[in-house]
Amino acid sequence: MRRSISVLLLLVSAFGLGCSESAEAPTSEVPDLAAAPPTPTAPATFEYTEELSAALIPGFPVKASGDGREIAIRSIFFQPRFDAWGVSFSSAELSSPTAIQPGGDAETINLTDLPQAMAVGVYEQSIDEMGGGYFQIRQKEDPTRTTSWNTNLAYVLEITKWDVRPWNEEGSIFQDAGRASGRVVAVFRGREGGFANSWIAGTFEDAVVRYMGRPRWVPDPDAPAATAQ
């Protein structure tokens, strides 16, 4: 009987020791939110520079400065031009998404040579590259008329939305294809005795994307097959 009591006491003692040891609770690291870098704020202004980056694009709706004059942009539209996409920023309004591009005294900044496979992304050209666009700008001698100003230009075009339908074989020759949103900055190098340094910068939403005829890169199913040589 005494032996049984001793064994029982040993078991109770062992059980008590086991319960007295507390298990360590698992720990997890809490991220230091304060250490996260802040989101860059878009600048409130733009000053002419030929060293462009997306960080320089201001947060205001797109506007232009042409030969020292502020130009209000009233229409923005993308459309194929020859073998590439292009985008136009015009001082004239479009009466409809597929209306003919405004002419007369309308001033228009045209960025060309954008890829056929346009999509969300950033498209750039440096000031020393050839081509890339032109500025349809008011003539100095006759402000009621415009001229195509071809000069060195640089741009950063960021597309944040590209909601565009492909060319519709069953549709009309002029087609409203969708909408695009994004940000842009482009500069045109001036010269003494000519136009002054000029630029366009800012954001845009739901710009018209359209086809004013079949894009050259879309095969024509009715075209005769090429004759084998």
Written as tens digits, the pLDDT of the chain (229 aa) is 433 434 333 333 433 434 444 445 455 454 454 454 555 688 888 999 999 999 999 999 999 999 999 999 999 999 999 999 999 999 999 999 999 987 778 999 999 999 999 999 999 999 999 999 999 999 999 998 999 999 999 999 999 999 999 999 999 999 999 999 999 999 999 999 999 999 999 999 999 999 999 999 999 888 887 655 5
Q: Phi/psi of residue 115, each to 5°?
A: -65, 155
Task: Give the span between the Cα atoms of 97 and 175, in whole angstroms.
Answer: 8
The pLDDT of residue 41: 85
pLDDT given for residue 117 in this prediction: 96
Reference 153, options 121, 203, 200, 85; nearest CA is 200
pLDDT at 108: 97
Residue 226, pLDDT score: 60
Best CA proximity match to 182, nearest among 50, 85, 81: 85
Beta bridge partners of 153: 188
pLDDT at 31 (0 to 100): 47
pTM: 0.80
Rounded CA gap, 92 and 72, in Å?
9
CB 207 within 8 A of CB 73: no
- What is the per-residue pLDDT for 22? 44
Confidence (pLDDT) at 42: 84
